[in-house]
Amino acid sequence: MSSTDMTPTESSAQVAGAALRARRRSAWLVFLEAAVVLALICCASLLFGVRDLDAATVWQALTSPVAENVDHMVVLQQRVPRTLIGLAAGVALGVAGVVIQGVTRNPIADPGLLGVNSGASLAVVLAIQFLGVSSALGYIWFAFAGAAAAAVVVFSFGHARPVQLALVGAALVAFITPLITLVLLRDQTAFNSYRFWVVGALTGRDLRALAWMLPFLAVGIGIAAFLAHRLNGLALGDDVARGLGQDVRITRALSAVAIVLLCGVAVSLAGPIALVGLVVPHAARRLVGSNHHLTTALAILLGPIMLLLADVIGRLVVTNSELEAGVVAAFLGAPVLVAVARGRTVVGL
């Protein structure tokens, strides 16, 4: 049948099918490019730092390390754990951002908006003050518990409604912040320990911390992937989602579980790093559209890209020293936040 013999319905169907295939090819190309960029940034994370190393040295350290070689020890004991923790924390922040913005339908939502970072910070401060915890490894479980408690409070009192979630989260932050300040002002030792954690960094952690957090990360990603089609329906509004047969309460309850797990992992491993969970969902929607199946999958790549890029930049901008990844990530994400606030980059929300 020639194109002139087609009915309007058949012609429209062919055009729609061609457009869908083109979008799929474009999405696959985006995923491939993101994977390549992530691989390059991982290599840069292993190569660059205060101590200059060449590619041959790094490769030898990875394949046939020599115990007495200081360069090999730098790679294996510092840069490899730092890179792997950056990967895990970046994935957690990116996917959490997609879920948070999807369930709240709020384009500026991130872990900080829901009070997750503040809850983790308060738990760490209390651990330092009353339990004498002083190591980054020791903060992990307290940060995870504090982040989880804050998320539970927000979703319990916010009744899982987008506006109320944001308001309760803001109220929780306003309540917790002076408590943290009160504790820190009373104890200089607690302040000195806390200020190195709160800025957000990938240093000072080892692979034990990552091993403890991986199960939580895997479950959080699994729940987020399961929620993708539900968040697509929720984006159309609660009434439309119910009309499609979805129980909105279950969707928000599962979203809360995913947010608790993912944000708990990220804050535990890297501290309260800001704006990664805000920027990544917007970047994903720009690249592959508003389908949560695609944005969730792409966030798994874009999250660690942004976090590791911030970490690498922080190593290079100050001679013989470093800027923490949290500082650089905030610097990179601030223009996006301003653009979102002005209504220029909201896609699909």
- The model's pLDDT over 225-234, given as tens digits with 9 standing for 90+, comes to 999 999 988 8
Q: Is 271 within 8 Å of 201 (Cβ atoms)?
A: yes
Q: Is pLDDT of 188 > 90? A: no
Q: Is 182 within 8 Å of 168 (Cβ atoms)?
A: no
93-115 mean pLDDT: 85
Domain ranges of the chain: 83-312+328-341
4-18, 44-58, 193-207, 266-280: range with lowest mean pLDDT: 4-18
pTM of the model: 0.85
| Short-list 299, 91, 286, 276, CA closest to 200 | 276
- Per-residue pLDDT tens for 136-145? 677 788 888 8
Q: Is 258 within 8 Å of 97 (Cβ atoms)?
A: no
* Residue 24 pLDDT class (50, 70, 90 cuts): low
183: its two tokens: 């504790």
Contacts of 303 (CB under 8 A, 6+ apart): 90, 91, 92, 93, 94, 95, 97, 276, 280
* Residue 333 pLDDT class (50, 70, 90 cuts): confident
* Residue 346 pLDDT class (50, 70, 90 cuts): very low
Top-confidence residue, 102 or 341: 102
Q: Is 169 within 8 Å of 108 (Cβ atoms)?
A: no
Q: Is 307 within 8 Å of 254 (Cβ atoms)?
A: no
Q: Is pLDDT of 308 > 90? A: yes
4-18, 46-60, 93-107, 164-178: range with lowest mean pLDDT: 4-18
The greatest distance separating any two alpha carbons of the chain, rounded to the nearest whole angstrom, comes to 83
Percentages helix, strand, coil for the chain (3-state, rounded to 5) are 80, 0, 20
Q: Is pLDDT of 259 > 60? A: yes
Top-confidence residue, 246 or 33: 33
pLDDT value of position 4: 53
- Per-residue pLDDT tens for 56-101? 999 999 998 888 889 899 999 889 999 999 999 999 999 999 998 8
Q: What is the mean pLDDT of the chain?
A: 83
Question: CATH fold of 83-312+328-341, please?
Answer: ABC transporter involved in vitamin B12 uptake, BtuC (1.10.3470)
